[in-house]
Amino acid sequence: MDWHATKMTDRHLWCEDVYSCRFERPKDYSFGAGQYLMLRLPTSDGTLAKPFSHASAPGDSWIEVTTHFSGSKYKSALADLEPGSEVSVSPALGRLQIPADDPVTFLVGGIGITPVRSMLRDAAQRHTGLTGTLFYGNRSPQCVVYRDELDSYESDGIRTVHVFERESNEPAAEEGFITAELVKHHVDPTHGPFVTTGPPAMITVMERVMDELDIEPERRVIERFGAG
Ligand SMILES: Cc1cc2nc3c(=O)[nH]c(=O)nc-3n(C[C@H](O)[C@H](O)[C@H](O)COP(=O)(O)OP(=O)(O)OC[C@H]3O[C@@H](n4cnc5c(N)ncnc54)[C@H](O)[C@@H]3O)c2cc1C
């Protein structure tokens, strides 16, 4: 693989242990919204590389990944990077892309938002006219990554339904989890693609929701953050 050398430029802590890292975008580095990269860095276990979805859009002049601190040696090394630290990124990988038909229904929880943010940001930047609904599950309103930006896409035709596990005191938000019942309450599930992205456990639950909604395999677009 042809690795590109780059440098971290800054870090944004969203809440608790969730943060975004920005890197200089190497010259000639191109990617599609929704694609991922391998981020390679020195750790106490030697040089390691892990996959991360592009959270930025192809129209941005930087590369951005968003993750949470887990305690692994890789994430400790990532958390220790400072502006100017040198890392490498792989060419863009993966086939995930925004479906051609709309309205699109996105079923996303927590960190699974990264490729969807890339796709929605790209659609907004290019004024593609994409319409749809994003069901975005999080524990509480205190930690909703990219919230303001995602909410702002309502005027472009993408409505975000926030679903909080804990009571939120937000009348417009839903309480609990993303379920088939809840999805049916907001969208007609007989039309359009259903996109779900994120850690394997979340994907398993969202696939069950899609089963209950009778979403045919050809209408399902799935990006699993790892095996399982
Ligand atoms: C296509 C694709 C896209 C992806 N996109 C993203 C993305 O946008 N954002 C993102 O965050 N991830 C993404 N991932 C997943 C990412 O590559 C990592 O697998 C994931 O973040 C977990 O890595 P980790 O180093 O935290 O944990 P791992 O080393 O994989 O360990 C798994 C869990 O074990 C625990 N653990 C491990 N070591 C320790 C330790 N020493 N002490 C305490 N606990 C420990 C942690 O709880 C950890 O979460 C993506 C994966 C794929 C395949």
Please report, to the nearest 10 degrees, the dihedral formed by the alpha carbons of residues 95, 57, 144, 110 taken in order: 10
Q: What is the pLDDT confidence band of residue 160, given thresholds at 50, 70 and 90?
A: very high
Q: How far apart are CA 8 and CA 72, in angstroms?
A: 20
Structure token pair of residue 25: 């975008």
Range 194-199 average pLDDT: 97
Residue type, 40: R
Beta strands in 74-118 (DSSP E): 86-89, 104-109
For residue 44 and ligand 1, the question of a CB distance below 6 A is answered with: no
For residue 226 and ligand 1, the question of a CB distance below 6 A is answered with: yes
For residue 70 and ligand 1, the question of a CB distance below 6 A is answered with: yes
Range 80-102 average pLDDT: 93
* 8 A C-beta contact, residue 49 and residue 11: no
For residue 75 and ligand 1, the question of a CB distance below 6 A is answered with: yes
Residues 6-28: pLDDT tens digits? 999 999 999 979 999 999 999 99
Range 51-72 average pLDDT: 97
Identify the burial level of 210 via C-beta atoms within 10 angstroms of its C-beta, where 0-12 means exposed, 13-18 middle and 19 or more buried.
buried
Q: How far apart are CA 112 and CA 53, in angstroms?
A: 9
Query: What is the share, in percent, of the chain residues with pLDDT greater than 70?
Result: 100
Mutate-to-test residue for ligand 1 from 14, 44, 50, 202, highest number of ligand atoms within 8 A of CB = 50
Which residue bears the tokens 């005191």?
169
pLDDT for the residue numbered 97: 87
Claim: this prediction has a pTM higher than 0.85: yes
Please report, to the nearest 10 degrees, the dihedral formed by the alpha carbons of residues 145, 124, 112, 82 taken in order: -60
pLDDT for the residue numbered 1: 82
Quick one: DSSP state of residue 142?
T
**How many angstroms is it from 70 CA to the middle of ligand 1?**
7
Range 51-68 average pLDDT: 98
Query: What is the share, in percent, of the chain residues with pLDDT greater than 90?
Result: 94
- Per the prediction, the chain carries an average pLDDT of 96
Q: In 10 A of CB 89, how many CB atoms?
A: 25
Round to the nearest angstrom and report the end-to-end CA distance of the chain: 25
For residue 225 and ligand 1, the question of a CB distance below 6 A is answered with: yes
pLDDT for the residue numbered 228: 62
Q: How many helices (H) and strands (E) does the chain have?
A: 5, 12
Q: What is the pLDDT confidence band of residue 103, given thresholds at 50, 70 and 90?
A: very high
Domains and CATH numbers, the chain: 4-89 (2.40.30.10), 104-224 (3.40.50.80)
Q: In 10 A of CB 104, how many CB atoms?
A: 25
Q: How far apart are CA 217 and CA 210, in angstroms?
A: 9
Residues 138-148: pLDDT tens digits? 999 999 999 99
pLDDT of 162 higher than 70: yes
Q: What is the pLDDT confidence band of residue 100, given thresholds at 50, 70 and 90?
A: confident
Task: Specify which residues 24 forms β-bridges with.
Answer: 62
pLDDT of 227 higher than 80: no
Q: How far apart are CA 173 and CA 157, in angstroms?
A: 18
Q: How far apart are CA 194 and CA 33, in angstroms?
A: 17
Q: What is the pLDDT confidence band of residue 59, given thresholds at 50, 70 and 90?
A: very high
